[in-house]
Amino acid sequence: MTIAEMRTQIRAVVDIDSSDISDTVLDNMLGQGFDTMVYSEKRWPFYEGYTTFTTTSGTNDYSLTTIAASPDAISQGIREIISLKTDDHIIEYVGRDYADGNWPINVSNSGQPWQWSYWQDAVRLYPTPDSNSLIVYVRAIRNPTSFGVGTSDGTAPDLPDAFHPVLATYGIFKAYLQQEDPVMAQQYFMQFRSELDNVARRFADTPSPQPMIANSRTSTRNLAGTGALRYASTGGVIW
């Protein structure tokens, strides 16, 4: 659904026209609903993306803006970093406290990075890269394309089609609230929450190939004896 189609549906359900609620006000309501939906889950799979960046010798901090830039630009910007790797190894994520202890500031370390931490929207590599040509491959969650006020009539929200009617339901809830009908507003708000929960479960659930825990046995992320990851950390792993 485009934003214009959502406005039409909202006005038809609430039985109002543009003299009751202007396009700008409706677009603002839809923008609020869009933000509510996209930020209700940290790692929506439809915002997953890949990019790369090249290290600079002597520099260990790389902002999300820098990482999202060329050569493989993520134009919307990066919201979360999922993993980093080079051509020959995975760069391990560690907490900043752990990294501060293992890589003290008063000790000079340089070479190929083997660990990274995240703080203030920036990635820090350990040890400090000593190359101007090391390519780091990034899996990330991008920002959604903004939606609401300023969106052209023929534009649909940056969400899978299944979410579009849910967003329209949010707009109906807000329109009833603006028309001072709290009873109907509450009904549509409850419907919005139910619809969002139902659709979200289909997109944020465990991947189909992922083994699931079927009993009370202890689960582990690591293959016994090697310490290597056998399956993704999402969902249940049974041994």
Gap between the Cα atoms of 140 and 213, Å rounded = 27
Gap between the Cα atoms of 6 and 108, Å rounded = 58
Gap between the Cα atoms of 216 and 89, Å rounded = 34
Instruction: Using alpha carbons, list the distances in angstroms from residue 43 to 39, 99, 102, 134.
Output: 9, 25, 29, 28
pLDDT by residue for the chain (239 residues), tens only, comes to 999 999 999 999 999 999 999 999 999 999 999 999 999 998 899 999 999 999 999 999 999 999 998 778 899 999 999 999 999 999 999 999 999 888 888 788 899 999 999 999 999 999 999 999 999 999 999 999 999 999 999 999 999 999 999 999 999 999 999 999 999 999 999 999 999 999 998 888 777 777 666 655 555 554 444 444 444 444 443 33
pLDDT for the residue 84? 97
Task: Provide the residue ranges of all domains of the chain, joining segments of one domain with +.
Answer: 45-142
Instruction: Using alpha carbons, list the distances in angstroms from residue 23 to 8, 84, 154, 155.
Output: 10, 43, 14, 14
